[in-house]
Chains A and B, each alone.
Chain A
Amino acid sequence: MENEKREKFIVPIGPQHPALKEPGHFEFTVDGETVTGATVRLGYVHRGIEKATEDRNWTQNLYLLERICGICSHSHAMAYSLGVEKLAGVAVPPRAQAIRQVTAELERIHSHLLWLGVAAHEAGFDTLFMFSWRDRETIMDILEELTGNRVNYSVNVLGGVKIDIDTERADSIRKGMDFLEERTTHYLKVVTSDETFLRRTRGVGFTTTEQAETLGLVGPTARAANVARDVRVDVPYITYADFPITITLDTRGDLEARFVVRIKELFECYRVIRLILDKLPAGELTTRMPRKIKEGETVSRIEAPRGELFYFIKSGGGEKPERVKVRTPSINNFALVTGTAVGHQLADMPMILAGMDPCFSCNDR
C-alpha cells in the first residue's frame, strides 16, 4: 500500500535468562523474522569487585579476584599474581610456572567442553550437550584431585603455587587426557558432519577477517575468523615459551568455524599438558613475597579460555593496591553480536550469542 508506514518492532530479550543462564539485555529490531538492528545492555551482575580490591591486602585480593568468574577463575588469579610479582620484582620458580600452565590448560579444556555443551543446547542438540558434559566430568574430577576443588582451584599464591604434581596425579591426568582426546575426535566429527546441526551453524554469524579486526574480537572467536591473535603465542608468559602451543586458525569465520577452532584447541591442550608432565622442571614451588609491594604500576595480559584477559595494577607502596582494573575478553566479543546480527533470523540470535562464549560475570565484575 502506498501510505503504509513500516513501524519498527523491537524484541527485547533478557535481562533474565537471555538464552544463557546469566543476565544481559538485548534488543533486536525485527522486520518479520529478520533482524535489522541489535543493541546490548550489560552490567546486571556488577558486584563492585574492582573497588573492593582497594580495601583488601595483596593476598586477600587474590581470592576475591579469583571469584570474578566461576569458569576461568585460575586465569584471573594468575593474571593478578603475574602482575603483582612483576611489580614486586619477584621471580617465580620454573616448577611453579609449569604447574600454573598445566592448571590453565586444564581449565581451558573444562571451559571449552562446557561451552560445547551450552552452544549445542542452544542449537537444540541436547544429546551433544549431555554427552560433552558427561565427559567434562573427567576434567572436573582431575581438577578436584589435583587442586582440592572443582571450581576456584586456589592454585596460586603470590610468588608461586600451593600444589605439586606427583607421579600418581600425573598418571591420572594422562589417563584423563587419553579418554578426552578420543571423545574430542568424535565431537569434532559430529559438529562438522551432522547435517541438522550444520544448518544451525554453517554460514551463521559470519565475520570476515577485516570485520573481526575492526570489531576488536579476541580469543577463539577471532581465531575462527583467521585473526592470528593469541597472547600465549604473541607474548609468551609463564612457561609458554618452553612449552609452546600452536595457534589454531580457521578461515571461514562462521559459527561452524568457532566450533572447529575451540575443539581443535582442545587437542593442543592435551598435547601441551602431556609435554609439561613429561618434562616438569624440578625445584621449589614458592618464593618469598614481600607484604608491601613497592610503588609502581603494571599491566599483565594472559590468554583466558575466551581470549585476552587484561589486568592493570597500581601500587602506592603499601599493603593494599591503589587500583586494580580488569578488562575481560567478553567485552570485546559482544561487538560480534551487535555487529553480525543484522540480516539473520531471530531464531539464530541465541546461537550467535552463545557462539562467542560470553561471560557476563567476568564482564560486569
Chain B
Amino acid sequence: MKLRFASMFGDMFRSLFKKPVTEMYPFKKTSAPPRLRGELMYNPEKCTGCQLCVKDCPSNAIELITVDKANKHFVMRYHLDRCTFCAQCVENCRFECLGMSNEQWELAALNKESFTVHYGREEDLQKLLGKPLP
C-alpha cells in the first residue's frame, strides 16, 4: 500500500465545519433509554414478603421490614448508596413489585440521609418511622 502522511487530515478538516459531538449536559438533557437501570421502585400492594429480592442482592441494598405479617404489609428500606443497579431483585420478583426507573438516575446528594429510601403503604410508613411523611 502507498504510504501517506497526515492520513487523518480529511477527518480533522471536515470536523472544522461540524458542531462538537459533546453533549451539553446538564444544560441540555436527553432522555435515557427505556431499559436504563436507575433507582429501584417498589410497589407494596402485591408483595408477599418472600424475601427473594433480599436474598440475592449482591450488595445488601434491600431490607424488607414486616409491619403486619397476616395482612401482608411490608416496608422496604432501600439503600441507594449500596445498590449496584444490577436488577437481580427485579428478575427475582415473581409478583412484579419491583422495577428500575429510567427517569430517576441523577442520584447524587450532599447528605447521607437521602440515600436511605423507604417504600410502603402510607400508614405502614407512618407506623414504622413514627412521624408523618412530608
Contact = CB atoms under 8 A, between A and B. Distances in A.
B37 A148 contact: yes
Prevailing SS type, chain A contact patch:
helix
B11 interface: yes
Interface stretch (A30-38, A53-61, A323-331): A53-61
Contacts of A131: 8, 11
A190 interface: yes
Interface residues of A, number: 36
Contacts of B58: 56, 59-64
A326 to B, nearest CB: 17
Nearest to B57: A60
Contacts of A189: 1, 7
B33 A194 contact: no
B8 A63 contact: no
B87 interface: yes
Contacts of A146: 35
B56 A57 contact: yes
B4 A154 contact: no
Contacts, number: 79
Contacts of B121: none
A252 to B, nearest CB: 14
Contact of A63 (B7, B11, B88): B88
Contact of B91 (A57, A149, A157, A195): A157
A162 B91 contact: yes
Contact of B56 (A59, A147, A197): A59
Chain B, interface residues (CB within 8 Å), range: 20 to 34
Contact of B7 (A149, A152, A190): A190
Given A63-B84, A137-B21, A148 B33 contact: yes
A192 interface: yes
Contacts of A59: 56, 58, 88
A57 B55 contact: yes
A194 B4 contact: yes
Nearest to B9: A127
B88 A134 contact: no
A256 B1 CA distance: 14
A190 B6 CA distance: 9
B85 A149 contact: yes
Given A57-B55, A59-B56, A193-B7, A163 B35 contact: yes
Contacts of B8: 127-128, 131, 190, 194
Interface of A: 56-57, 59-64, 66-67, 127-128, 131, 134, 137, 144-149, 152, 154, 157, 162-163, 186, 189-190, 192-198
